[in-house]
Structure 1
Amino acid sequence: MKAAGVYTFGPPEVLQTIEVDTPQAEAGEVRVRVKAVGVQPADLAVRSGWTPPGGSIRIPQIPGNEFAGIIDQVGEGVTSISVGDEVLGFRILQCYAEYLTVPAGQVALKPRQMPWEVAGSLSASGQTAHTALKELGVASGDTVLIHAAAGGVGSMAVQLAHAWGAKVIGTASVRNHDYLRSLGAIPVSYGDGMTERIRALAPNGIDAALDAAGSDALRASVELVADRSRIGTIVSFDIAEELGVRSIRSQRSAARLAELIDLYEQGKLSIHIRKVFSLDRAADAHREIEQGHGRGKVVLTID
């Protein structure tokens, strides 16, 4: 089968189309003929030599941790899903490929009206945002600050917090402010004076903050939120302990994914697809992510 992978770590140019053996579903697994794959910042780190928690590097290394496709093989003991079912799901690595195998408990049925590009990019950012907001105790009546609110995780966090009844303030580039308003957030620009602008929008204070932007945003959050246990970061792990705030890593599960799918079907969750690339243009997809300050998700599609 075809896949996008690396034989050596480095810049986007090392990511190339390769031929590898097609995997076979073992007991408890299903094989998926992949239709779409979300591209995550974590994939760029893998391409550069990072090993994700729970993963192991093997050469050639195929990145990717979320996908959507059609079940074409079912392993022994799997009764919850059948050949021909359309699904979306998650796994550690190996998703930039025409086929992948995955435990049956890591997929969920795709709603028929959900486009493949959306299905392939829902799991990673959605589950990270859901994990983070739950860890921070976000609930109805809270005022929540989300940094990098127009990005993949940020835009999902905005919508989840809004759906749960919170007031949401989101930081983003000016060009993304209308987009944030459409998701239910009050936008704030980056740069000098950001902390003061946020205070003016929340005279009663900020209850919780999620950093998906970096150290400057995290330090600003410490100035704005009294309870540091309700400040979390998904990117600035190096200074989280120093500041006494939470380092948050996604806790993915079929139940969490099912909740996100339900919110999508209710019209409370949407995904903006920034750009779509074919599998043989995976390097271009990585370049798109590296530009930063993007809106929504980048996706690979596989014919």
Structure 2
Amino acid sequence: MIPPVLEIGAEVTGYAVGDEVFGAVDVARLGGASAQYAVLDVWTHKPHGMTWAEAGAAGTGIETATRALDLLDVRENTTLLVDGAAGGVGSIVVQLAVARGVRVLGTARPDSHEFLRELGVEPVDYGRGLPARVRAVTAAPVDRALDVAGAGSLGELIELAGTPDSVVTLADFGASAYGVRLSMGRLGGEPDGVHGLTSATALADQGRFHVPVREIYPAHQAAQAHETAAQPPRRGKIVLDMTRTSSVASTELY
């Protein structure tokens, strides 16, 4: 069993002993964590219907997705193209975008298209030649584009979105050559997306958001978990379940 909040500090408000919470460590300082115990940098109440595997995999993904959508100024009635929409971060991005009232097009392998449809996304085949395939799906312009995959698509994303300013990448470190912003969060001195945890929790309680978990591994199979995460189909999250050997929540890998 995952322990709830056991003690409350003198200056903590909004939480009580017995509450269940989830969040993330200081990623800018630590890079992440898979540990028996971890000090959270940000946290919020865990949605009642969210499993601990989902909650453990949610924190950094929600922050990253919210930060990227904010950087792109994604708003209601815009069209967003997400390259790499089915993966651990992409599957969170698209749900939060749909909740903003956005039309979302998402690239993925054909065997992940139905998965994307279930998330409210219009799927497009992944890979080179993207502009033609997107235009076959919609005659409407693409307002914003987000690169989650880092697979060398920035030139095509700019062609679709119109300008480099309308594109953000989370994974292509050659972005500056295209004039595209590479979002690195606090590491890059950007505003973070931690406020997204509260809004994602509200969406989850409404049944409008969940964290897709592809597979769960016990802690002693961490190497195998990383191997699985590197193999297709990259769909949702791979989770290490620390509760198999201790009393702490799951942590995300990807």
Q: How does 1:259-298 map to 2 (within 5 A)?
A: 259-298=199-238
Q: How much identity, in percent, do the aligned residues show?
A: 37
Query: Structure 2: how far apart are the matches of 1:236 and 1:275?
Result: 26
- Cα distance, 1:189 vs structure 2: 0.9
- Cα distance, 1:262 vs structure 2: 0.9
Find 2:33's aligned residue among 80, 95, 118.
Answer: 95
Deviations 1:159-188 (A, max 9, x none): 122121221111000000001111111111
Aligned-partner residue type, residue 255 of structure 1: H
Structure 2 residue ranges without an equivalent (≥5): 186-190, 244-254
User: What is residue 249 of structure 2 aligned with on the other side?
Assistant: none
Q: Is 1:242 aligned to residue 177 of structure 2? A: yes
Aligned-partner residue type, residue 162 of structure 2: A
Higher strand proportion (structure 1 or 2)? 1
- Cα distance, 1:299 vs structure 2: 1.0
Q: How does 1:1-303 map to 2 (within 5 A)?
A: 35=2, 70-75=4-9, 77-92=11-26, 93=30, 95-103=33-41, 106-237=42-173, 239-250=174-185, 251-252=191-192, 254-303=194-243
- Cα distance, 1:83 vs structure 2: 3.9
Query: Structure 2: how far apart are the matches of 1:153 and 1:296?
Result: 8
Contact kept in structure 1, 2:214 and 2:238, CA below 8 Å: yes
Q: Given the superposition, is the C-alpha separation of residues 78 and 162 from structure 1 closer, same or farther in structure 2, using an over 3 Å criterion? A: closer
TM-score under structure 2 length normalisation: 0.84
Larger gyration radius, structure 1 or structure 2: 1
TM-score under structure 1 length normalisation: 0.71
- Cα distance, 1:102 vs structure 2: 3.2
Structure 1 residue ranges without an equivalent (≥5): 1-33, 36-68
User: What is residue 188 of structure 2 aligned with on the other side?
Assistant: none
Query: Structure 1: how far apart are the matches of 2:74 and 2:49?
Result: 30
Query: Structure 1: how far apart are the matches of 2:102 and 2:40?
Result: 35
Q: Secondary structure at the match of 1:145?
A: strand
Deviations 1:75-96 (A, max 9, x none): 5544543443211011133632
- Cα distance, 1:209 vs structure 2: 0.2
User: What is residue 252 of structure 2 aligned with on the other side?
Assistant: none
- Which has the bigger relative contact order, CA under 8 A and spacing at least 6? 2
Query: Structure 2: how far apart are the matches of 1:186 and 1:78?
Result: 43
- Cα distance, 1:73 vs structure 2: 4.6
Contact kept in structure 1, 2:152 and 2:172, CA below 8 Å: no
Query: Structure 2: how far apart are the matches of 1:186 and 1:253?
Result: 25
Query: Structure 2: how far apart are the matches of 1:79 and 1:204?
Result: 47
Count of aligned residue pairs for this structure pair: 234
Aligned-partner residue type, residue 184 of structure 2: R
- Cα distance, 1:235 vs structure 2: 0.2
Q: Given the superposition, is the C-alpha separation of residues 180 and 88 from structure 1 closer, same or farther in structure 2, using an over 3 Å criterion? A: same
- Cα distance, 1:132 vs structure 2: 0.5
